[in-house]
Structure formats: structure tokens, C-alpha cells
Amino acid sequence: MRRVPMIFSCVLLAVGMSFGLSATQTSADPVEVTAQSDVNPLAARPLYVDPDSGARRALSTDPASASITGPLASTPQARWFTDSTPTAEVAGAVSAYVGPAAAAGAMPVLVVYAIPQRDCGGFSSGGLPNATAYGAWIRQVKAGIGGRPATVIVEPDALPAADCTGPGGRTARFAALADAVSQLSSDASTVVYIDAGHSRWRSPADLADRLRQVGVAQARGFSLNVSNFYSTSEEIAYGEGVSSLLGGAHYVLDTSRNGAGPPPDGTLSWCNPPGRMLGSAPTTKTAGAHADAYLWIKNPGQSDGECNRSEPASGVWFGSYAADLVQRSGWKAAATPPS
């Protein structure tokens, strides 16, 4: 149920600071990280501002929208790589994103989102046709990273939603995720978080068991609240519970749209719900003992899907929704963690 979707960074990071929403990290050499390390790899470099985000493109085509799109365009966000970029092209696309970030001394955040049977037939359905194709695609993602610093969020929703694929499908999905984690984590400069859904989906014990099965011990940890709206405090409480079952695994939280907390429960309450706000700006200064960072993993202003309301398709820029998020939030509210 989601999502998606170079000149660059030095200028854009400076622009971001002018809005008061850039990452708070200071630049440093990359850190080699293992799952057991207490050194936060995301604190070593400033987070990269994507020069080709939806907000950045909207700003370039409509300069009059600067009051809305300017702050979004200058805030570090993840870039999503999906099966819409073929295997033969994905290494080049990843390299074109990671390379300028490395040159700027910044940390890019990537999301891989191409698992077979993605989104269980929902608004973001798709994915590669089978595990063999997916494995080949992941290897090209790794080749595109090329040993440079990068943070990768592995397959939003795929692990907690695995049951939708049936018993045989679940086994195949776990194997595909384990292979992706193994491949991407084999480079010490790549920081890997396996997506784990959110606090109201799986029990901590169930989630911890699933994470073990797909190799969380090889990764830095897991991600929570991607493209969702649950409060930072709720997700930290949940994340710490899961972490305690995994020997202190670390995690990151998506705070891109959780400033007002979740909408009232109801049909498609996760799908472009009205009345939401931006959450905390990306930072490694968190309230969780094992929380490495608050990140904007979902790109605010991009649609969650048609939502049975004829809204833009998943990943397409949704200007009126972006405007509502910004206008409701105020930039002071976005700079501090919501309760």
C-alpha cells in the first residue's frame, strides 16, 4: 500500500539550511559498520538532498510554488528505485545518484522497491516477475553503489505483508529478502535497514522472528513507519521493544508525514489522508536508544495511490496534497519531534 516514486549537493545542502530543515550531521569520513556496532553510521556524514526529487522538479517547473515546494526540495529525502528501472539500467541510475553524494561528502538514502508480488495487488502493485530476476536486479543495485557510502531501505512492507503471498510465496519472499540483505550488506560502506512496517501491524515477537529469518544480523537493523503516519513516540516504543528481542538492533523512523499522528481509522486511512502534517526534519538526534535517525523515506507530496478517489497514481507528484502538508505544518513544527 504505497508509494513511489547532479550539480548538485553542495548548493542544495546550502539551500536546505536556509529553510532550517537540513540534516544536523557534520561531514566526516565514512564508517565501516556491522550490525553489532554502536557507532551510528548516519551520523558520519550529512544526509544528501536529492537534486531530482518530485519537489525539486515541481519547483523548477513552477517557481511560483517556492513557498510550498522550496522547503521540501531542500530537505534530505530518500530516492526510490523500482522495477520501472530495468536490470540493465539500474546500476547506472544508482551510480548517478550515489556518485554525486559521495563527491559532496554526503550520505544518500535509497529505497529498493521491486520485490515480486509487491504490495499484494494494491495501489503500488508490481515488482519483478520472480526471485531470479529480483536477485539479478539487486546485484546491479549493489554494483551501482560501487563501494561508496549509501543507506538502503529494503522493500517497504514486504516482510510484514509476506503472508499475502501464501505459504509457498512467503517462503520464496523471505529467501529473496535474505538474499538482498546479504548482497547489499556485504559492502561495509552500505548501511542496510530491512523494512518492518509499523507498530500496529505485527507483534514485536512476530516481527523479530521475521527479521531474523531474513538476516537482520547482517544488516544495521530495520525501518519503521515508511509512508505511514504513526507518531514518533509510538514507533520508538515499538522499535525499542523489537530491538530488545534482537540483541540491540538499530532502526530508523520515517517522520516525513507523521506530525499530526495517524488519521482516524477507516477505509484507506493510510492513502493520502487529509489533515496530516510534516514530522521531524531528518536528523540523527533521536529520542530512541537504538534509533539511528528520523528520515524522510516517503517523499512528502507524492501520492500514495488513486485511493478510489481518482487521485494521482502511487509516486506521482500531488501538488495540492503537498501544499496542505506544508501549510498545516509550519516549519518550526517540522524541526522538532512530534509527541
Give the catalytic positions in this structure: 119, 157, 304
Residue 115 C-alpha from the chain's centroid:
15
221-256 in b/e burial notation, b at 16+ Cβ within 10 A? bbbbbbbbbbbbebbbebbbebbeebeebbbbbbbb
Taking a C-beta distance cutoff of 8 angstroms, is the pair 337, 282 a contact? no
Q: Read out DSSP for 195-239?
A: E---TTTS-HHHHHHHHHHTTGGGSSEEEE-TT----HHHHHHHH
Best CA proximity match to 150, nearest among 114, 84, 115, 106: 106
Cβ atoms within 10 Å, residue 339: 8
Q: Are 271 and 234 in contact (CB under 8 A)?
A: no
Task: Tell me, rounded to whole angstroms, the distance of Cα 85 from its chain centroid.
Answer: 18
